[in-house]
Structure 1
Amino acid sequence: MKENRIRILYIDDEIHNLNAFRATFRRSYEIYTASSAQDAKLLLKSIDVHIIIADQKMPVTTGVDFFYEIREQLPDPIRILLTGYTDVEDIIEAINKGHIFSYVKKPWDEHELANTISNAYEMYQARKQLKEKITELEKTNDELNRFIYSTSHDLRSPLMSVLGIINLTRLDNSVTDPNGYVDMIESCILKLDGFIQKIIEYYRNSRLDVEHEKIYFDSLLHECIAAFKPQNTAIEFQLNIDQPVDFKGDTFRISVILNNLISNAVKYQKPDESNPKVNLSVKVEPHKATIWIEDNGIGILSEHLSNIFKMFFRSKNNNKPGSGIGLYIVKEALSKIGGTISVESKYGEGTQFEITIPNRNDFDS
């Protein structure tokens, strides 16, 4: 059927070459011809072709220049260049500038050119299928992310309602609970809610655009400490902020990074530690900020250090298993803003994270 045939545009300023090409391949392919680059551009506005074959040496423009001019608007057609010259520099220019698939010498051989066209069409089909698969995967991923985000928000509402009921029973002493079942229920709900909030953080990090604004690390870190200090009031937080210059960065993602790391520093303290500490240091320079978060908690086994940033990895060396997603979110958030993270830890003695974040102060007005 005609609509399933390979559509080829052949461009050559020599009419007898156009006629010869049409006569040779008209039974095998759907052929279109043009005697100039200008005529070819007009034809391409109304016809979608699979393959474009262009002569390199034409009066007004070369084949390579023609391919270069159309590559943005028409990236899909496969390009084949015909030339009577075999200069290495021409070949390199054709590949780099014109993005050609193949380079065929003139006068062309019927069987050689037919094989080249067949291979070019296979390339066209492969690219088309890959493009369709990518579009399909992007759509599926977007729908999945939206579903997870929506579900997570919907789940939080009933959880908060249950927590509210538990608090009411405590206020009016309407429930006798000698075995502590209510406390167990509350603990499970808080763990589930924490996991849901991590999912929401992950979604927002993957979807929201990066925005740069002025950040004052002293106030930002005090806000983080205030959020997590009630979980263990015995912890001594030590701050050392050196910010002699302005810093611009993504407040949301930097907050996510700090919150997750400080949360872990609080959560994974040793239960028998008499002097639990978390040291937070920041040094801001014109081009970057370096942040150190150090604790004297339970530490991380050396064999686990290479895995802690993987999604759902949980260390087995403690009785406080986390969600397995917090440090993965930290890594992803840093990737979004061009930052890095490294970790040093000694089991039983503590852990130190070092984060570097580019200062975007010079890039924004």
Structure 2
Amino acid sequence: MNNLNSEIHTSRRPLATIERPKKLKILVVDDEPDNLDLLYRTFRRDFNVLKADSGMNALEVLAAEGEVAVIISDQRMPEMKGTEFLSKTVPQFPDTVRIILTGFTDIEDLVEAINAGQVYKYITKPWDPGELKAVVQRAAETYDLLKQRTEELRRANAQMALLTVLVGVTQAAHSLDETLTPIATAFSDSFDADGCILQLIEENTLVATQGSYSPEGKLNNWLDQDSLTREAIATGKMQVSLNVAKDAKLAGVTHYQDNNVQAHLVIPITYRNDMLGVLSLQWQQPCSLREDELTLIHLSAELVAIALTSSRCHQTKM
């Protein structure tokens, strides 16, 4: 089982789509205060604009704020040129689109940066505000497309990793208890959940046997108090609330607030009309699920049912 646990963490990437701010973040970098202020005012209505007055400060902003869609940087700055600064951002933020502003003809630096994929476009000073806006808008659209393609690839890898783990558990598990935590871990990783519980059921009642996983460590189990879990057991159908705060049927349910759970999905694990358990996925932010994700969940739940049934049969024979 140790090999299975090592496989589980090969592709940690959300299949669930976390709700994001409407405005993309961009970073503007210029050592001249007037230019920096002008860039900020030019884009503040359409973007969440971050500012930095040097390459070093810009790296600190990125370290604190994380990835941005577009970076607009002056080329001629003291201590660190714009192209040098941008090159330092490529390894950590490969999808970010980079634009250089230059009042000089630093052709060699610019050509090298463009050829190395570090610069999307360069704009000469003084720039035309309309032209610059159009360039940045296209850059933002390019970023969105890159993110979409990157996420599709990572999603496919995550799906394959999840299915591989479930098949492996089915083939290698020697006891029922051994299967539960690896399965919970695999689901948590694949769907970027903040918590996952796989709890067994006997005669349509939750029993103590369970496996759970949370990236943060300890995870409270309140499924026996939960109306979504009761509904899943009663109907044999998946129950989901992807924005608990706006869900009228969960108004006043304290265990969601107490455990900072803002989205919850409960999947019955059933084999030939025999309910074996429930799988609970929990997120600390509202989220949404696409049709292909729901299909993967149904397929994975069927594999979990096979894994649990196989482990039970093996245990009975022993």
Per the shorter chain, which TM-score range? 0.3 to 0.5
TM-score, scaled to structure 1: 0.38
Whose radius of gyration is greater, 1 or 2? 1
TM-score, scaled to structure 2: 0.44
